[in-house]
């Protein structure tokens, strides 16, 4: 079913408007995934920025395998520029796309040193000016530095937002635009983490476990819809939050 249908489906089934459903969605997910946080390991804003840049097209686990040795060797922006490009490429090789990433990291370090006193900025509009830093990376960095200015949209956030009927868009920028209209600003940081963890643990791309989902009665794409609710008195999936 196309995402467009889920928004309509939510109305058709009387699940409530997006703005009405968002509060219980956030509350239930926060209770269910109280440990939901960024999986990348870092200690400083610079390590955060490099980790997020390395995480493109690979898993956080893979990045975390590389970064302890990387961050022991490269502690400042100058360190990334002090070695030959090929050496940095070798050091990040296993994260994939190592040539593009090494080039982007060095370009970013140059801008940090030449224009930003070596400091990682917290404003998204400054972050996206860094080479190889797209809006998603900028949003992650800004949020983790305590200044969320948007909502990170990755593959899980996109899929769950569509399935939950929170957006009918396909493009991440347009999805973010829809989400910031309905998600309270104080939740912009944790909301993507909650969707990401729910996507990993319950709402799998191919095989969503709707019977175990705390959002089942709020979700227009539940596989149980029309099965469970037709039973007398049953308004929720077995196992879902009462």
d(CA 235, CA 35): 28
Minimum distance of ligand SF4 from residue 210's CB (angstroms): 3
Of positions 156, 163, 190, 193, contacts ligand SF4 by CB under 6 A: 163
d(CA 134, CA 77): 19
- Residue 158 within binding range of ligand SF4, rule CB under 6 A: no
Among candidate residues 25, 70, 50, the one with its CA nearest the CA of residue 144: 50
CA distance 67 to 78: 17
Is residue 213 involved in binding ligand SF4 (CB under 6 A)?
Answer: yes
Helix (H) or strand (E) holding 113, with range, is helix 98-115
Coil/strand/helix, residue 132: coil
Shortest reach from residue 216's CB to ligand SF4, in Å: 4
Among 136, 178, 187, 217, the active-site one is 136
Q: What angle do CA 197, 202, 204 make, to 5 degrees?
A: 90
Nearest C-alpha neighbor of 156 from the set 101, 99, 196: 196
Instruction: For ligand SF4, give the closer residue by CB, 101 or 190.
Output: 190
User: Nearest approach, Cβ of 204 to ligand SF4 (angstroms)?
Assistant: 8
Is residue 164 within 8 A of residue 220, CB to CB? The reply is yes
Is 210 a residue that touches ligand SF4 (CB under 6 A)? yes
Selected range binding ligand SF4 among 9-17, 90-98, 129-137, 212-220, rule: CB under 6 A: 212-220
The reply to whether 154 belongs to the active site is yes
For this structure, is 103 an active site residue? no
Site for ligand SF4 in 164-193 (CB under 6 A): 164
Residues at the contact surface with ligand SF4, assessed by CB under 6 A: 163-164, 202-203, 208-210, 213, 215-216, 219, 221-222
Active site residues: 136, 154
């Amino acid at each position: 079913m196309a995402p467009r249908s889920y928004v309509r489906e939510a109305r058709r089934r009387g699940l409530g408007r997006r703005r009405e459903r968002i509060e219980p969605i956030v509350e239930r997910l926060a209770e269910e995934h109280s440990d939901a946080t960024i999986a990348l390991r870092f200690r400083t804003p610079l390590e955060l920025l490099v980790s997020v840049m390395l995480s493109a097209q690979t898993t956080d686990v893979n990045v975390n395998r590389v970064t302890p040795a990387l961050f022991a060797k490269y502690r400042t922006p100058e360190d990334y520029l002090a070695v030959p490009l090929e050496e940095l490429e070798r050091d990040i090789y296993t994260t994939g796309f190592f040539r593009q990433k090494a080039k982007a990291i060095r370009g970013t370090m140059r801008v940090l040193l030449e224009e930003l006193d070596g400091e990682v900025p917290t404003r998204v509009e400054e972050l996206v000016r860094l080479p190889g830093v797209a809006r998603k990376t900028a949003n992650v960095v800004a949020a983790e530095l305590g200044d969320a200015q948007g909502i990170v949209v990755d593959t899980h956030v996109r899929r769950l937002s569509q399935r939950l009927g929170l957006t009918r868009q396909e493009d991440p920028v347009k999805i973010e635009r829809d989400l910031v209209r309905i998600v309270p600003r104080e939740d912009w940081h944790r909301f993507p983490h909650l969707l990401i963890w729910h996507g990993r643990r319950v709402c799998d791309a191919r095989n969503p476990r709707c019977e175990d989902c705390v959002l089942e009665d709020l979700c227009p794409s539940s596989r149980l819809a029309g099965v469970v609710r037709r039973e007398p008195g049953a308004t929720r999936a077995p196992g879902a939050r009462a």
